[in-house]
Structure 1
């Protein structure tokens, strides 16, 4: 398993009139966590795109348990429980301290510039494997 944590401070612009974080911002935070995880394993998303590959969202969902509000300090936990084959699957938890505010999941496929499905590059799979092994040894 790979586990990555991104820290977010809720901006005023992310809230609605009820002082609650607007629901679509959680999806942006999920993306922030994915980009950070790719950086941490040594293959930045910009590098993936430079190779002519993209990771479009195939599915995404979120379940809201308790509202986040302006100026909250949050952690976005990303989990990769399955090693990728043709797709990458992620699960998310949004937490304010120990309190679970939301959960989510997303799946992504690799595609080239013309929109054709691609297999993940071997070096990316190797970096995921190395990150996986490092987590298991802890």
Structure 2
């Protein structure tokens, strides 16, 4: 599996959340840091989709820390609003690059977007891998084979 194939056949997953009161800031909108939490939930769902969530990563001998994350706010989310958080795998060869979109569940109005970059490091000595471990492409290929 390479990035070109992934572009042609993207893998996405979504997470739906109803904004709880404790996610609000003093302006009664979702506090900016909680969008990253919503990204994380969608990312975990995406990783579960390919059967390579964090426990499987560790069992395969790798951690995948985030080395870069970006977020753009477009419209505020409010208490009780249902949000659809979509994570899409964009790159897998040398890193995990995942795009995110958060939108109103009912209207589809875009509220925020962003991306994260993760790299593989060995569990034993945290040595960064310059190429993604084979296990990642194997998991992606198994996912496509199951469709």
Task: Tell me whether the two structures share a fold, i.e. TM-score over 0.5.
Answer: yes
TM-score normalised by the chain length of structure 1: 0.87
**1:81: how far off?**
2.6
Aligned to 1:49: 58
Aligned to 2:98: 90
Aligned to 1:15: 24
**Does structure 1 conserve the Cα–Cα contact (< 8 Å) formed by 2:90 and 2:96?**
no
Aligned to 2:138: 126
TM-score normalised by the chain length of structure 2: 0.82
* Count of aligned pairs: 134
Unaligned runs of 5+ in 2: 1-9
Aligned to 1:107: 117
**1:112: how far off?**
1.6
Specify which structure has the higher proportion of strand: 1
Over the residues paired in the alignment, what is the CA RMSD in angstroms? 1.8
